């Protein structure tokens, strides 16, 4: 009997952005490739996402005449690691340098393959933009909106995104400030006209992550790459210390597939696996994740079984949410960052105390809630806001100043009262404490400085994603005009952020610290090159793409530039 049923040069497990680019690199190098995706949809959580990639020093910044460099990005990420207490196992100076040297090249490579990309919203600063080397505009790259019909028989095979329309991300962000941005109506009108035109012409546009994955799938299909859906990988085959192939099963038929040059695991994390959460990130809940339902962690367990070293497994890409009645039916649960980071709102724990800068990164926000909860009940915490807030901004994706959605008050979700003291009573917080907290906040707003947590001092706090760049208040506004309101906020997530340790070639590192030959991993199957921090928008997909690119080049024996002095 043959050892393998089939053999390819490069076998890819999963279909994140790293999977796609690695397949394109290999195909172009004349190697045979197969992508094995377990779900009926291509694209993973990446397709469901915003599709933003954090790519310092990218070609679009250069085109805009904005200086950036590997050194600046290194300075920034080094400073972030120092803030976090040193290098986590999934990162190192060498690996970060490899990332920064290759991320812009990965983007150049995709552009050469005809994948239409552009700079992300120009006002999306790094999340710790007060640190040296940080960027105060945007290091992000995104895909242009994509007509799924271009995929032919695959047009309904991309995992649905959360933004199935023909709009740029910044248009969506600007239109989101419908009541303070004078241009919002015009932008919405433009999007509506495009939608009508597309309908008439039989186009099916999508944007964000689904556009990115749609465009990558199109490039892969055009290049003749073999893609198998509903082909779960059940086993990694290791022979003589090297990856030799995988075992997959399609329509109940098990197959051993050999891999001459290597196996790349880009199979996501474990956001939908409660047992793994209980083991590695206790206190977090499957129900709170927005990751795609295929994110079930079995390949991380398999990487562990074959001797890979796991690290940063307690890390999540946190995303604060407020679970309004009926949220279970929503494809993406209502986010709360755009709430408590906006003027006229703060977040307090169950003792009524404010405990963070509500404007910072969503990853840090949720981690701070989880840590706080170890000493003071803080899950859920309470978003506290006033009439001024509801006249300008949404609560759980809805304007509530004119009509409160049915059941919100009855279900105990929204609390509303004429005075702060009554509001405190309603959410079982000491009225004197909540009033004092709000007075303190109002004092900071009037003085123009948040002395406790420095909210509003970063550019990021004031950007369109978090604060309100269209109002003078930007991210700070008093809470003083009744009625007053409160809704619960929980530390949700958009994916997990730990996995197997890989080196600067994307090779899986074993428990003994040496790489397992021909076995590669990228994306949330691996421990992030960012360590325990989230540097800026796109800190998950940017590295997933880049280490897919690096891994394929390494396995194919192509010259790899790791940004070192000797390259």
Residue numbers at the binding site for ligand FAD (CB under 6 A): 13-18, 36-39, 44-46, 48-52, 162, 232-233, 266-268, 290-291, 294-295, 298-299, 317, 332, 494-495, 523-525, 537-541, 544
**Spatial distance between the Cα atoms of 304 and 307, rounded to a whole number of angstroms:** 5
Q: How far apart are CA 182 and CA 59, in angstroms?
A: 32
**Nearest distance in Å: CB 50, ligand FAD:** 3
Min dist CB 265 to ligand FAD, Å, is: 8
User: Least distance to ligand FAD from the beta carbon of 540, Å?
Assistant: 3
CA distance to 103, 276, 336, per residue, from 110 (Å): 11, 35, 34
Least separation in angstroms between CB 157 and ligand FAD: 11
Q: What SS3 class is residue 8? A: strand
What DSSP string runs through 117-136?
EEE--SSB--TTTTSTT--S
Looking at beta carbons only, is 98 or 414 nearer to ligand FAD?
98
Closer Cβ to ligand FAD, 346 or 463, answer by number: 463
Backbone angles phi, psi at 243, to 5 degrees: -70, 135
Whether 323 and 310 have beta carbons less than 8 Å apart is answered as no
Longest Cα–Cα distance of the chain, Å, equals: 79
- Closer of 14 and 56 to ligand FAD (Cβ): 14
Q: How far is the CB of 33 from ligand FAD (least distance, A)?
A: 15
Residue with tokens 């969503």: 362
Instruction: For residue 210, give the 3-state DSSP assignment.
Output: helix
**Alpha carbons 369 and 379: distance in angstroms, whole number:** 7
Instruction: State the nearest-atom distance from the C-beta of 280 to ligand FAD, in Å.
Output: 16
The residue number with the shortest CB distance to ligand FAD is 44
Closer residue to ligand FAD in complex, CB, 324/540: 540
Sole residue written with tokens 């005009």? 481
Instruction: Give me the least distance between CB of 503 and ligand FAD, in Å please.
Output: 18
Minimum distance from residue 495 beta carbon to ligand FAD (Å):
3
Q: Classify residue 508 by burial, with Cβ atoms within 10 Å: 0-12, 13-18, 19+.
A: buried
The distance of closest approach from Cβ of residue 378 to ligand FAD in the complex, given in angstroms and rounded to an integer, is 23
Rank residues 26 and 52 by Cβ distance to ligand FAD and give the closer one. 52
Strands (E), 77-231: 117-119, 140-143, 146-147, 205-206, 226-228
Q: How far is the CB of 366 from ligand FAD (least distance, A)?
A: 13
* Torsion of the alpha carbons at 529, 221, 158 and 269, rounded to the nearest 10: -30
Give dist(CA 178, CA 174) in Å, integer: 8
Q: Residue 7: CB partners within 8 Å, gap ≥ 6?
A: 245, 257, 258, 259, 260
Nearer residue to ligand FAD within complex by CB, 174 or 478: 174
543 neighbors 99 (Cβ within 8 angstroms): yes
Nearer to ligand FAD, 320 or 540 (CB): 540
Nearer to ligand FAD, 60 or 355 (CB): 60
**Which residue's CB is nearer to ligand FAD, number 80 or number 541?**
541
Q: For the chain, how big is the Rg over CA atoms in Å?
A: 24
**CA dist., res. 518 & res. 263, Å (int):** 6
C-beta closer to ligand FAD: residue 52 or 395: 52
- Token code pair at residue 75: 């300075």
Six-digit token pair at 213? 């994955």
Nearer CB in complex with ligand FAD: 477/531: 531
CB of 51 to ligand FAD, least distance (A): 5
**Three-state SS for 485?**
strand
């Amino acid at each position: 009997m043959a050892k393998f049923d089939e053999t390819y040069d490069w076998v890819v497990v999963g279909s994140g952005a790293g999977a796609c680019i690695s397949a394109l690199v290999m195909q172009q190098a004349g190697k045979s490739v197969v992508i094995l995706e377990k779900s009926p949809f291509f694209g993973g959580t990446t397709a469901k996402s915003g599709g933003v990639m954090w790519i310092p020093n990218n070609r679009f910044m250069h085109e805009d005449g904005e200086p950036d460099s590997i050194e600046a990005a290194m300075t920034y990420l080094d400073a972030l690691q120092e803030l976090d207490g040193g290098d986590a196992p999934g990162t190192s100076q060498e690996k970060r340098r490899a990332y920064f040297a290759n991320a812009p090249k990965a983007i150049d490579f995709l552009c050469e393959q005809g994948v239409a990309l552009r700079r992300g919203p120009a006002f999306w600063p790094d999340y710790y933009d007060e640190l040296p080397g940080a960027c105060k505009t945007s290091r992000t790259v995104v895909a242009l909106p994509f007509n799924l019909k271009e995929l032919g028989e695959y047009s309904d095979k991309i995992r649905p995104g959360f933004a199935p329309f023909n709009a740029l991300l910044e248009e969506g962000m600007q239109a989101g400030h419908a009541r303070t941005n004078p241009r919002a109506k015009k932008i919405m009108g433009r999007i509506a006209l495009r939608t009508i035109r597309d309908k008439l012409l039989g186009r099916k546009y999508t944007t964000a992550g689904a556009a990115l994955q749609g465009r990558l799938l199109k490039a892969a299909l055009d290049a003749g790459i073999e893609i198998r859906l509903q082909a779960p990988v059940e086993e990694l085959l290791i022979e003589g210390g090297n990856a030799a192939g995988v075992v997959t099963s399609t329509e109940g038929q098990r197959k051993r597939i050999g891999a001459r040059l290597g196996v790349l695991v880009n199979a996501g994390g474990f956001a939908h696996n409660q047992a793994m959460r209980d083991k590695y990130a206790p206190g977090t809940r499957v129900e709170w994740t927005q990751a795609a339902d295929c994110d079930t962690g079995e390949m991380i367990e398999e990487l562990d079984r074959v001797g890979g070293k796991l690290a940063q497994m307690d890390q999540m890409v946190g995303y604060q949410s407020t679970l309004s009645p009926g949220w279970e039916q929503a494809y993406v649960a209502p986010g709360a960052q755009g709430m408590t980071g906006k003027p006229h709102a703060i977040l307090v724990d169950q003792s009524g105390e404010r405990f963070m800068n509500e404007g910072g990164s969503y990853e840090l926000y949720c981690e701070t809630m989880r840590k706080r909860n170890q000493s003071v009940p803080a899950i859920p915490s309470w978003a506290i806001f006033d009439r001024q807030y509801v006249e300008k901004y949404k609560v759980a994706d809805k304007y509530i100043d004119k009509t409160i959605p049915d059941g919100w008050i009855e279900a105990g979700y929204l609390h509303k009262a004429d005075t702060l003291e009554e509001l405190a009573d309603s959410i079982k917080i000491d009225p004197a404490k909540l009033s004092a907290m709000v007075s303190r906040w109002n004092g900071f707003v009037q003085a123009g400085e948040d002395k406790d947590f420095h909210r509003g001092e970063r550019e990021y706090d004031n950007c369109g994603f978090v604060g309100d760049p269209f109002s003078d208040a930007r991210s700070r506004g008093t809470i003083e005009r009744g009625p007053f309101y409160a809704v619960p906020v929980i530390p949700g997530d958009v994916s997990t952020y730990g996995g197997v340790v890989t080196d600067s070639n994307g090779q899986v590192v074993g428990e003994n610290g040496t790489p397992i030959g021909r076995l590669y991993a990228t994306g949330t199957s691996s421990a992030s090159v960012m360590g325990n921090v989230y540097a800026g928008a796109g800190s998950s997909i940017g590295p997933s793409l880049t280490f897919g690119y690096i891994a394929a080049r390494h396995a194919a024996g192509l010259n790899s530039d790791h940004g070192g002095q000797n390259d």
